Copies of this chain bind each other. A is one copy, B any other.
Amino acid sequence: MRGLPDLWTHRNEGKDTWSAFDIIGHLIVADRTDWMPRVRTILEHGESRPFEPFDRFAQAKESEGKSLEQLLDEFSRLRSESLAALQALNLQSADLARRGKHPALGSVTLRELLATWTVHDLTHLHQISRVMAYQYREAVGPWSAFSGVLKCSGHSAP
């Protein structure tokens, strides 16, 4: 995404939807407040302390006044820190079976949390490719009939 014109990175799919820029802000917030903090909550408190609910709209504050390049740098730094911290825990199979409490979903395992971290990345890569393609929905002319990504209307969390 570095160096792309704003057309690709700062436009969304209409009212109350996210641009690629917004999505990077969301990934930053998720790495800072969600993934590794929840790993630690499971290891330290098990199911006795529910996870902090995740604020899915905190990225506006996160990204205010920043450029896309600044957000990408910040995400890259945070993700490296998260992965180093995860590796340092040296989790074993028994650890991965430990349970925590999701505020809406109930009992979950550490293994499920880590799988979800990965799928969350893929959800937003899937979304970024759709949001970017949307900006060219008219530019492709009759090829829109053959452009699969233009037929995706999104699959938001409830």
Contact surface of A with B, Cβ cutoff 8 Å = 102, 105-106, 108-109, 111-113, 115-116, 118-120, 122-123, 125-127, 129-130, 132-133, 136, 139-143, 145-152, 154-158
* Main SS class of interface, A: helix
Q: Choose among B115, B118, B141, B151 the residue that contacts A155 (Cβ–Cβ < 8 A).
A: B151
A147→B119 contact, CB < 8 A? yes
Q: How far is the CA of A111 from the CA of B148 in the complex (A)?
A: 19
Q: How far is the CA of A147 from the CA of B121 in the complex (A)?
A: 10
* Residues in chain B near residue A123, CB distance under 8 A: 129, 133, 147-150
Given A122-B149, A123-B147, A126-B129: A112 and B142 interface contact (C-beta under 8 Å): yes
